């Protein structure tokens, strides 16, 4: 392989890794958001269950 071919291949791999990294970061943000929403839903459910047990 010539140096230019190797350079081009590396550039392509580098771009692919950057894209993969960006998608992984976005996925992590989505998961953290979902985790926070789930925690809030659990708190809300616990609050409503507590109110149901105590009556209106």
Task: Give residue 55's pLDDT.
Answer: 53
| Nearest Cα residue to 31 out of 8, 42, 23, 5 | 23
Report if pTM > 0.75: no
Our measurement of the distance from residue 9's CA atom to the centroid of its chain's CA atoms, rounded to an integer in Å, reads: 29
* Residue 17 φ/ψ, nearest 5 degrees: -65, -40
Give the separation between CA 6 and CA 14, rounded to whole angstroms.
Answer: 12
**Span 12-49, pLDDT tens digits:** 999 999 999 999 999 999 999 999 999 999 999 988 77
pLDDT bin (cut points 50, 70, 90) of residue 50 is confident
Confidence of residue 52 (pLDDT cuts 50, 70, 90): low
CA–CA distance, 40 with 47 (Å, rounded to integer): 11
């Amino acid at each position: 392989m010539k140096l230019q071919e190797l350079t081009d291949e590396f550039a392509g791999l580098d771009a692919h890794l950057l894209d993969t990294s960006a998608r992984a970061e976005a996925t992590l943000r989505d998961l953290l958001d979902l985790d926070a929403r789930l925690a809030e839903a659990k708190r809300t459910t616990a609050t409503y269950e507590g109110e149901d047990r105590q009556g209106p």
